[in-house]
Chain A
Amino acid sequence: QSALTQPASVSGSPGQSITISCTGTSSDVGSYNLVSWYQQHPGKAPKLMIYEGSKRPSGVSNRFSGSKSGNTASLTISGLQAEDEADYYCCSYAGSSTRVFGGGTKLTVL
C-alpha cells in the first residue's frame, strides 16, 4: 500500500488553470476508474471534489475536472480563485477493498 505520488506544491495566478497529477501503479490508478479527489483547507475536514475519476458531486464548481491516462490521474482547476488555495489529495481503490491516498499537493494562488 504505497502512497500515490503527487507534486508537493503547485501555484497559479487568479484566472489561470492548474493541473495536479497523481501517479500510481497498474495495481491501483491504472486498473480502476475509481480515483477521487479531496480539497482540504487548513484546520478543516477534507471535502470530496471528484469521484470515479471525473465526476463532480452536486454543489462542486464545474471549474474542477478530473481525468486519467494510464497510471496517472489528474485534477484540473480552471479560472483559479483565491478560495481554491488549499491542500488537494487524490485517492484510489487499490484492490482487496483497500484505498490509498496521495501525499497531497499544496495549491497556492499567487
Chain B
Amino acid sequence: EVQLVESGGGLVKPGGSLRLSCAASGFTFSSYSMNWVRQAPGKGLEWVSSISSSSSYIYYADSVKGRFTISRDNAKNSLYLQMNSLRAEDTAVYYCARGGISGSYDYWGQGTLVTVSS
C-alpha cells in the first residue's frame, strides 16, 4: 500500500524557516517524481514544486521561487521542502504527492499545516 506521511509543519514567524519532510513507503520511491502542493485555509489547491526521480529536474511555482528548495533522498525514501523567508501567505496545509501518469498526482499524504504568524 502506497503511503506518504508528511511532517515538520508548525508555527513560524514571518521571515523564518521550516523544513518539511515526506516519508514514502509501499512503492519504489526512486522511480517516481514527487511534488509539493499546498492549500491555504478555506482555499483551493496550489502546485508548489516538483522534483524528478533522480533529482535532475526541479521546478517551482513563481510564488515560492528563490525561497523554497525541494530535495529528495532516495536511500531514505524521503522528500523534503526547505522553506525560507516565510510570509503570511505561505500559511497552508502542505501535501506531498506522487507523480503519476502524465504529471497527475496519483497518491497524496495527509498534509502538514504550516502557519506563518507573529
Residue of A nearest to B52 (CB): A97
Is A41 engaged at the interface, CB distance under 8 Å to the other chain? no
Q: Which of B47, B101, B111 contacts A51 (CB 8 A)?
A: B101
A97 and B62 within 8 A (CB) = no
Is A12 engaged at the interface, CB distance under 8 Å to the other chain? no
CA distance A101 to B105 in the complex (A): 12
Please give the number of chain A residues whose Cβ is less than 8 angstroms from any Cβ of chain B in the complex: 26
List of A residues within 8 angstroms of B111 by Cβ:
45
B57 and A97 within 8 A (CB) = yes
Q: How many A-B residue pairs have CB under 8 A?
A: 69
A104 and B44 within 8 A (CB) = yes
CA distance A37 to B100 in the complex (A): 13
B103 and A48 within 8 A (CB) = no
CA distance A83 to B61 in the complex (A): 33
Digitize B37-58: 1 where CB-to-A-CB distance is under 8 Å, 0 elsewhere. 1000000111100100000010
Is B95 engaged at the interface, CB distance under 8 Å to the other chain? yes
Is A36 engaged at the interface, CB distance under 8 Å to the other chain? yes
Residue of B nearest to A93 (CB): B103
Q: Which of A52, A98, A100 contacts B102 (CB 8 A)?
A: A52
Spell out A's residues near B (CB within 8 Å): 1, 3, 34, 36, 38, 40, 45-48, 51-52, 55, 57, 89, 91, 93, 96-104
Of the A-B pairs whose beta carbons lie under 8 Å apart in the complex, a sample of 26, sorted by A's number, is A1-B61, A3-B44, A34-B103, A36-B104, A45-B108, A45-B111, A46-B37, A47-B108, A48-B104, A48-B106, A51-B102, A51-B106, A52-B101, A57-B106, A91-B45, A96-B59, A97-B50, A97-B57, A97-B59, A98-B47, A98-B59, A100-B47, A101-B45, A101-B46, A103-B44, A104-B44
